Amino acid sequence: MLLNLRILLNNAALRNGHSFVVRNFRCGQPLQNKVQLKGRDLLTLKNFTGEEIKYMLWLSADLKFRIKQKGEYLPLLQGKSLGMIFEKRSTRTRLSTETGFALLGGHPCFLTTQDIHLGVNESLTDTARVLSSMTDAVLARVYKQSDLDILAKEASIPIINGLSDLYHPIQILADYLTLQEHYGSLKGLTLSWIGDGNNILHSIMMSAAKFGMHLQAATPKGYEPDPSVTKVAEQYAKENGTKLSLTNDPLEAARGGNVLITDTWISMGQEEEKKKRLQAFQGYQVTMKTAKVAASDWTFLHCLPRKPEEVDDEVFYSPRSLVFPEAENRKWTIMAVMVSLLTDYSPQLQKPKF
């Protein structure tokens, strides 16, 4: 009852153009900005300009500062609901989305393959229309990117890619926020990818150049990134004056890199390929030997869960490793995505230097 009264008082004050404060709940006229993402889908960062991605990171920093540092209560998603479709298991994506959406006053609804089997017990078209009538947005963690494309086409609400075989955009937002916090700026950084040519690498390729970051990626032969993604990434590098290097040599990719990045070699759905993949990725483990050829200010990222063959303990648990701040930032970035796609809120925090 008291909470509802506070919300009513704040809403009334806002309608009159005033700012009203009750304890840590502070509202007011937001700063104006040119970026408007409300109503958009987030299927791939390919569909977003550099300024639009920067805006989401700015909003992430704003929410983290206001809620975590200042202790403010911001029910920006009060009265809104989120459908969460998970065909694959998850720790960080599920926890960050559920807790983040609820922290902003909304109601997340978790759906597994036991509850909803995309395109099997009901067509994707029908599923999209039903969810559109009952929720305000859908985050889907799926096997096929094509399923997301159909959901987005048929739904009248924002569809967010929680991971697919082709892209993992919400992970990359967390990575960039983490690097922004550590280095103070993203422009000019060299990212060194050592591992599989997978959805994480694809998402980096669709966005790094837009920040002025260089990318050096090493993948085993036969595990290179998708050629269509590479073609677009090459164009982005040309447009933004950045370097894109693809190689099969891990040390070549690591040389001079500010950020060493790897991921699992065996993604969900690839378990039958385990023996073959472990053989193909021999020599790709990130170690201090790898770090010796990197830049003097090198750091390490891994989206987790991590296996020892991908990165040894000395690097993974070193002071240079940013994996746990990276994991926490999954929460603040997904919160920013939800707020930007569902509301007109603008960040109050001064825009970071990117």
The three-state DSSP-derived secondary structure of 81-127 is EEEEEECCCCCHHHHHHHHHHHHCCCEEEEEECCCCCECCCECHHHH
Q: Is residue 301 part of a domain?
A: yes
Contacts of 272 by beta carbon, 8 Å cutoff, 6+ apart: none
Residues 140, 230: one domain? no
Global confidence as pTM: 0.89
Virtual torsion, Cα 58, 233, 225, 328, nearest 10 deg: -10
Residues 257, 287: one domain? yes
Residues 119, 180: one domain? no
Catalytic residue among 157, 205, 303, 315: 303
- Answer yes or no: is pLDDT of 227 > 60: yes
Q: Is 27 a catalytic residue?
A: no
CA 340 to the chain's CA centroid: 14
- The pLDDT of residue 272 is 74
Residues 230, 139: one domain? no
Q: For 334-348, what is the mean pLDDT?
A: 97
Q: Is residue 73 part of a domain?
A: yes
Quick: pLDDT tens for 120-149.
778 899 999 999 999 999 999 999 999 999
Number of Cβ within 10 Å of residue 304's Cβ equals 15
Residues 241, 295: one domain? yes
- The pLDDT of residue 6 is 43
**How does residue 184 score in pLDDT terms, banded at 50, 70 and 90?**
very high
**How does residue 114 score in pLDDT terms, banded at 50, 70 and 90?**
confident
**Are the C-beta atoms of residues 35 and 25 closer than 8 Å to each other?**
no
Q: Is residue 34 part of a domain?
A: no
- The pLDDT of residue 4 is 45
Contacts of 340 by beta carbon, 8 Å cutoff, 6+ apart: 37, 38, 55, 56, 59
**How does residue 93 score in pLDDT terms, banded at 50, 70 and 90?**
very high
Q: For residues 282 and 179, what is the distance between their CA atoms, to the nearest angstrom?
A: 28
What percent of the chain is modeled with pLDDT above 70?
89
- Answer yes or no: is pLDDT of 341 > 90: yes
What is the span of the domain harbouring residue 104?
Answer: 45-168+330-342
CA 266 to the chain's CA centroid: 20
End-to-end CA distance of the chain: 43
Q: For 259-265, what is the mean pLDDT?
A: 96
- Answer yes or no: is pLDDT of 274 > 80: yes
- Answer yes or no: is pLDDT of 21 > 80: no
Q: What are phi and psi of 161, to 5 degrees?
A: -80, 110
Lowest-confidence region among 13-17, 22-26, 146-150, 275-279: 22-26
Torsion sign (Cα): 79, 346, 21, 329: positive
Q: For 276-300, what is the mean pLDDT?
A: 97
- Answer yes or no: is pLDDT of 14 > 60: no
Residues 163, 101: one domain? yes
Q: For 83-101, what is the mean pLDDT?
A: 95
**How does residue 308 score in pLDDT terms, banded at 50, 70 and 90?**
very high
Taking Cα atoms as reference points, which of 181, 244, 154, 182 lies closest to residue 207? Answer: 244
The CA R_g of the chain, rounded to the nearest whole Å, is 21
Q: Is residue 150 part of a domain?
A: yes
- The pLDDT of residue 34 is 81
Q: Is residue 158 part of a domain?
A: yes
Q: For 177-204, what is the mean pLDDT?
A: 98
N residues, the chain: 354
Taking Cα atoms as reference points, which of 245, 242, 241, 169 lies closest to residue 204? Answer: 169
- The pLDDT of residue 95 is 97
- The pLDDT of residue 33 is 65
Torsion sign (Cα): 50, 66, 37, 154: positive
- The pLDDT of residue 246 is 98
How far CA 32 is from CA of 75, 125, 169, in Å, comes to 20, 37, 26
Q: For residues 330 and 90, what is the distance between their CA atoms, to the nearest angstrom?
A: 12
Residues 193, 285: one domain? yes
**How does residue 216 score in pLDDT terms, banded at 50, 70 and 90?**
very high
Q: Is residue 17 part of a domain?
A: no
Average pLDDT, the chain: 91
Q: For residues 277 and 266, what is the distance between their CA atoms, to the nearest angstrom?
A: 7
CATH code, domain carrying 120 = 3.40.50.1370
- The pLDDT of residue 122 is 84
Residues 196, 310: one domain? yes
- Answer yes or no: is pLDDT of 282 > 50: yes
Which helix or strand (DSSP H or E) is residue 179 part of? helix 169-183
Q: For residues 347 and 324, what is the distance between their CA atoms, to the nearest angstrom?
A: 25
* Token code pair at residue 302: 């891994």
Quick: pLDDT tens for 67-82.
999 999 999 999 999 9
Number of separate domains in the chain: 2
Pairing label, strands 21-22, 25-26? antiparallel
